[in-house]
Amino acid sequence: MTDAAFARFNAKSTADAVLAGEDLRGLEALVTGANAGIGLATAEALAGAGARVWLAGRRPEALAAAAERIRQRHPDALLECLTLDLASLASIRAGVEAFSAPRCDLFIANAGLVTSRYEATVEGLESTVGVCHFGHSALLRLLMPKLLAAPGARIIWVSSESHRTPAKLDFARFPLKPSQFKGLVAYGQAKLANVLMAKALQRRYGGAGIMACALHPGALVTTEIGRDAPVLRWLVRLAQPFTKSPAQGAATTAVAAVHRPASDLGGAYLSHCRPVACSKEAGSPEVADQLWALTDQWLTEHGLEPWPERP
């Protein structure tokens, strides 16, 4: 892998610029958190390049509005709205049942949140880690047969530079309990878990043709991620003139979706449209295996089918 292979794009590139000239017709792409911000910009760019895009999110009315916005720019866009709450395993199962495509070519784990107070998922997990890590892992585990059915499927985790803090993933405090809760610590844990899961998935399913990677979209990009954290929401608004637009924030996801050969990106961590070094903890196979085992145990205890064997 060389810098020259990624020299065409940078921090100012947009997802549309990355996908210019790409023909994604026939591909099935699922984007979580697709109703606003980076997720919407990602979905719009993929649909504009011809993919059928499944817009996944909690609120049907927000998804319908997002689909209408995309169609205003791309009248022939192939779009499906998938109501799915990553804080509820029942909702995740229902969403997977509604995903009627024969395969999934692109799985983009984009949805995220950060809160200023402790909240819990339906199953009782701290919500930041519960949604960003366990919810996406459950969705991915249920959809893995359809990813394995696609030639060269790609799994893209939208992480963050926040994965560097905390420096270590303390499994005794993962997820945080109410008495331990600090919003930014929970967010850092969740984003660290995203990078680790990309690497764990690559080791387990790379031989089956799947590529998994993680990325940083940009700092304080205008999204709804801080909807439950007033201070972060204020910081995003304050920083908006100096940070990436959602379309620029989606550019690195677009690179991960189309860069060839995909093997360049297997297990990689990207920022500003190119691979960069992740934290030492995020690069540890031992930590990734421990997270995989913990996640596998939790999902199994809650009735999910086993991870499928690779072909």
**Active centre residues (catalytic):** 187
Token digits for 98?
A: 């509604």
Judge contact between 4 and 82, C-beta under 8 A: no
| 166: preceding bond cis by omega (within 30 degrees) | yes
Residue in 20, 229, 196 with CA at minimum distance from that of residue 112: 229
Distance, CA of 13 to CA of 201 (rounded, Å):
28
Distance, CA of 46 to CA of 38 (rounded, Å):
12
Residue in 153, 212, 210, 205 with CA at minimum distance from that of residue 310: 205
Residue 78: C-alpha distances to residues 17, 27, 45, 83 (Å): 20, 10, 12, 17
List Cβ neighbours of 68 (8 Å cut-off, separation of 6 or more): none
Residue 95: C-alpha distances to residues 58, 197, 222 (Å): 10, 22, 27
Distance, CA of 250 to CA of 296 (rounded, Å):
30
Token digits for 209?
A: 């043709």
The 10 Å Cβ neighbour count of residue 255 is: 25
